[in-house]
Structures are given as structure tokens and as C-alpha cells.
Amino acid sequence: MNATPDIVAAAQERTGGCLCGRIRFTVKGEAVYPHTCSCPHCKKLGGGPMMWWAGFAPEDVTWTSRIEPTWFETFEGEAKRGFCPNCGSRLAAIDSDVPELGIVVTALDDTSGPDLVPVNQSFRDNSVHWLPQVPDTQNSPVG
């Protein structure tokens, strides 16, 4: 009870998984650069006007189920997206120029963490005009 909120956030472990439950995972620690993305890939893959992402250190992400995501390479050798081969839920992304593993926030069982609130929106030019954009609250270095 004496821990400060920051320490609690850093130590916390969260659970997540796909819709059918065949893939389950845990993530530890505080989310890095939570953001939404309205790029053409996220719109096609995510089935909506944007996806909601947060980064976690690869060593802090553990696939706890018998099977792991199936990976689809969106840019050969550079980026791939993980999904459940049974129900199709989107779960994760690996980008060669980003040290963190990208987790689809909506795959988490509890999306209420304050460190998950998006601080920016990527690919604004590709966003739909009828939805307000996420403000860049941290003057983010990446677009």
C-alpha cells in the first residue's frame, strides 16, 4: 500500500487474448507511446477507422497459451502483424525500427489503464473525416 502509483504501474502485469481464447498473453510494465493509427494497413487489418497500439518491451510480453500468433508480413523483413489463426483477432505488431513490441490495446482484458490513453494519432492524413482526431499531447517525435 506504500507504493507510489508509478511503481505500481511499472510492476503491474496485465492479461490479454484473442476473442476465441486460443491465444493468451501477459504484458508487464508501463505502456510505451500509446497511440492510435489510421494508416491504410491498420484500417484494412483492424476492420475499423483506426487501431489502438501500445508498446511493451519484447521480454515483458509472454504468450501464455499453447499457440502463439500467426505473423503476417506487411513489409517484408520490416514489419509484421500477429493475429489469431482461428478467430482472426489482431494482437500484436513487430516493426524493425521500433524496439518495443506493439500490442493491440483492445486485445487486453482491461483497457482502462491511464498509461494506455493515446498520446498521438499516426497517419492523420488517412483518417476518416467524421471522427475527431487524437490530440498529440506529448509533441511526439513520430508522426
Asked if residues 50 and 121 have their Cβ atoms less than 8 Å apart, the reply is yes
Q: Which of 31, 32, 37, 92 binds Zn ion (CB under 5 A)?
A: 37
DSSP, res 108: B
Interaction with Zn ion in 39-58: which residues (CB under 5 A)?
A: 39, 42
Interaction with Zn ion in 83-102: which residues (CB under 5 A)?
A: 84, 86-87
What is the smallest separation between the CB atom of 50 and Zn ion, expressed in angstroms? 8
Q: Is 57 left (phi over 0), alpha (psi -120 to 50) or beta?
A: beta
Residue closer to Zn ion, measured from CB, 9 or 95: 95
- Could you tell me the CA-to-CA distances from 19 to 12, 45, 55, 85, 92 in Å, in that order? 23, 15, 21, 11, 14
What is the smallest separation between the CB atom of 103 and Zn ion, expressed in angstroms? 14
Return residues touching Zn ion (CB under 5 A).
18, 20, 22, 37, 39, 42, 84, 86-87
